[in-house]
Structure 1
């Protein structure tokens, strides 16, 4: 295959990760505008993020296996087409319920299209060195999508192209998605399928029900004053979790391919890496939620300017990931520990700088940039810490477990930290309440990052002894 043809097919494959990441980050900055447009509640803002993640996390492993069973090209095109249609429905939604149902479908379709996009890379670049290089570019495209998403998420709602310009943050996916489907149909070549074994749809459904029964009452229950049904759902989520674990163990005993194979958990690095990642990802998207709302509603900063501020964070992330990622192989967990310390320090400065309506624009940009440096220092190494000693035959299953836990942690963080933030806002909401709410929520995120630092130190000491 000619080089330019390889690059063309590679970019088509990358459209899946680009759209999925763009759609997650573009929403973060636009949440206040969306809330106004659909007459939503604070809980609805959390669900706009969470419903996408629940759909994505529940079917991520199943989506990867579906490509092996039905054909990666077919699943890629089907996932991209459904994602595009769901984006159209998001942009046309007239209520919070309609929007969040469409977001849920977006998440499920992303879970099927993203794994296929990555699966095309080994066939396009069989040389190991070239493949590693292209995987790095693949990751850079995801990072670039996050920066573009934050910028557009702030800019688009302030445009006066249509009466409710926030709808365009979803509608811009439509031409991109249609183009990707048309080019993918023409240029992508189908990879060999594996018809042995079955993918675990029942396990995916059980995981989805467990996550929904746990996260939904955490968000909606707080909004409604913790009615009995919310407590009942929380208890039911525990029962569903036990059923899910039993079903997975039953599948292993019967020789089936379970959604999550418990054998990976016998690996010390994997267990500790998952625990560290859990606490880190509790912070990741909850940070964007509380800062977006505080900047726009608490400090009166426009959506467009908020987007520009978050671009500062994104640039810090990209720069740090490019510089510090190569140092992980040499200095190990010390690099990750440095990243968590930088993030904690930056959040402490957030509490100072973001506590004033007259905060300097320069200082806001600087603290966001430093926070991004911390993220870019620790985040790229988390998956390496978790998977570095996993045997090759368990790598696929283990990476699927890691990515699923990553998304579950993000949703849980939005529910917990967002819940603390919004619980401090009384009705009617006063501007002075945002400062208190922001302090409580940010202190909780600092606590999570302190746990991350402590676990990294513990892991280093246990390895030395």
Structure 2
């Protein structure tokens, strides 16, 4: 069923939120070396540029959805969009690495307010199932397109010679899109009825924020500071806080209060196993981009434009496979997932063989990049569908929110743990041999993590049903 012109306008306004939130992770992935030079940062600072955005997004994602019910989806969406745009400006005008990282954290937090409202609005505005399916299809395709555009712009913008410090355009490009989208949202989006009975778990949200921040920051900062006592103590304390968080959340649930996370979800075996598999998968996701970007630009001396073009090839492979993989899941179940994992592992083996020296064979590298992207595009949507397929409709929102939160936390931890390992292996000499060795070892660990995903997938049930809540889970798409 075709969408009306007014419906298309509102869908485009809502899609601006997912577009900005997605583009701002992928555009940074490619531009990291240029940003590092621009703010005179260290390797640790650059890990934080990626991880803090994801951390802010992850810890406030569940809160963002609840706040839309409490204060109105339009109010929260517009507020999130304006704050995201202001934070982008702060990133673009940052003079030091720490100014940039603080702004990146607030970017992630504002994205967590913005994105859930867009998803919820689509469910409200499009009552007809066919229209809703069409709307979510457009919304998801815009998210996928944003990831490819982000990789392209992340390569091209820092190489512009027309202005000084052109890396700042990576962030400042958000300003016109954000302010125009916020103005259109104020004018055209209808007010959504506030749910008076909705309750928000402020204490749970703050406890989770403190625990996850205390977990991620020492992992990243500890390496550069030679693991001082405070970093180890903070790690231990954050782990204890996570156990306390789980205990309190379960108590709230049994006493009839409103917890941040519904632990009844973990009674579903496929959701539980799928979540474990997702954690292992997303530990790999952005580590791949980080180590390949550093290898190609800092190690091999390639320009950011060329590196961006390479990643666009990978992104095209992802989009091609993601459009068809979910359809095959309904017919072939977890075999589709296993096929995608094998493709990714084989492709990473080719990465190691091809990227041993700066003498790159493009005729081999380009198909390898496309193949890796196709593997990602096969695994990611299928893993989501399989993990959520048996969740009852009344748990759909909670399941997709929990899944997306774990996704972002895992990516941030991957940047901290595996990215830190890469820099440790690289050492201080930074010869081609050092880069090649660090890249090989980190990639081998990524391959092992993907094999763990494959083993976990083997324990998933064979039967397939229609996923009731995949449409809810448009976060930062992984590739």
For normalisation by structure 1, the TM-score amounts to: 0.97
For the residues of structure 2 that align with 1:462 and 1:380, how far apart are their CA atoms? 17
Tell me how many residue pairs correspond in the alignment.
Answer: 463
Alignment root-mean-square deviation, CA: 1.5
Specify the alignment match of 2:434 in structure 1: 433
Q: Secondary structure at the match of 2:460?
A: helix
Q: How far did 1:206 drift?
A: 1.3
Checking the alignment, whether the CA contact within 8 Å between 1:55 and 1:108 is kept in structure 2 is yes
Bigger mean CA deviation after superposition, 195-204 or 75-84 = 195-204
For the residues of structure 1 that align with 2:354 and 2:206, how far apart are their CA atoms? 44
1:407 equivalent to 2:435? Answer: no
For the residues of structure 1 that align with 2:110 and 2:5, how far apart are their CA atoms? 29
Checking the alignment, whether the CA contact within 8 Å between 1:10 and 1:124 is kept in structure 2 is no
Specify the alignment match of 2:477 in structure 1: none
Specify the alignment match of 1:230 in structure 2: 231
In the TM superposition, what whole-angstrom CA distance separates every residue of 1:249-305 from its partner, at most 9, and x where no partner exists?
Answer: 232233221111111101111101101111111111111011110111111111000
Q: How far did 1:77 drift?
A: 0.3
For the residues of structure 1 that align with 2:398 and 2:459, how far apart are their CA atoms? 26
Segments of 4+ moved more than 3 angstroms: 460-463
For the residues of structure 2 that align with 1:293 and 1:283, how far apart are their CA atoms? 16
Specify the alignment match of 2:345 in structure 1: 344
For the residues of structure 2 that align with 1:204 and 1:311, how far apart are their CA atoms? 36
Q: Secondary structure at the match of 2:58?
A: helix
Q: Secondary structure at the match of 2:350?
A: helix
Bigger mean CA deviation after superposition, 373-382 or 319-328 = 319-328
Q: How far did 1:2 drift?
A: 8.0
Checking the alignment, whether the CA contact within 8 Å between 1:290 and 1:418 is kept in structure 2 is yes
Specify the alignment match of 2:6 in structure 1: 5
Q: Secondary structure at the match of 2:301?
A: coil
Specify the alignment match of 2:309 in structure 1: 308
Specify the alignment match of 1:321 in structure 2: 322
For the residues of structure 2 that align with 1:428 and 1:230, how far apart are their CA atoms? 26
- CA 1:460–1:387 in 2, change beyond 3 Å: closer, same or farther? closer
In the TM superposition, what whole-angstrom CA distance separates every residue of 1:304-358 from its partner, at most 9, and x where no partner exists?
Answer: 0000000000000001111222111111111111001000000000000111111
Q: How far did 1:122 drift?
A: 2.1
Specify the alignment match of 1:76 in structure 2: 77
For the residues of structure 2 that align with 1:461 and 1:196, how far apart are their CA atoms? 39
Checking the alignment, whether the CA contact within 8 Å between 1:197 and 1:256 is kept in structure 2 is no
Q: How far did 1:364 drift?
A: 2.0
Specify the alignment match of 1:52 in structure 2: 53
1:257 equivalent to 2:241? Answer: no
- CA 1:2–1:426 in 2, change beyond 3 Å: closer, same or farther? closer
Checking the alignment, whether the CA contact within 8 Å between 1:420 and 1:440 is kept in structure 2 is no
Checking the alignment, whether the CA contact within 8 Å between 1:154 and 1:303 is kept in structure 2 is yes
1:189 equivalent to 2:190? Answer: yes
1:290 equivalent to 2:291? Answer: yes
Q: Secondary structure at the match of 1:358?
A: coil
For the residues of structure 2 that align with 1:80 and 1:161, how far apart are their CA atoms? 29
Bigger mean CA deviation after superposition, 134-143 or 178-187 = 134-143
For the residues of structure 2 that align with 1:157 and 1:163, how far apart are their CA atoms? 10
1:80-95 pair list within 5 angstroms: 80-95=81-96
1:164 equivalent to 2:165? Answer: yes
1:334-373 pair list within 5 angstroms: 334-373=335-374
- CA 1:461–1:84 in 2, change beyond 3 Å: closer, same or farther? closer
For the residues of structure 1 that align with 2:111 and 2:463, how far apart are their CA atoms? 38
For the residues of structure 1 that align with 2:374 and 2:463, how far apart are their CA atoms? 28
Q: How far did 1:179 drift?
A: 0.4
Checking the alignment, whether the CA contact within 8 Å between 1:347 and 1:446 is kept in structure 2 is yes
Checking the alignment, whether the CA contact within 8 Å between 2:273 and 2:387 is kept in structure 1 is yes
Q: How far did 1:383 drift?
A: 1.5
1:279 equivalent to 2:280? Answer: yes
- CA 1:425–1:127 in 2, change beyond 3 Å: closer, same or farther? same
Specify the alignment match of 1:173 in structure 2: 174
Q: How far did 1:461 drift?
A: 7.2
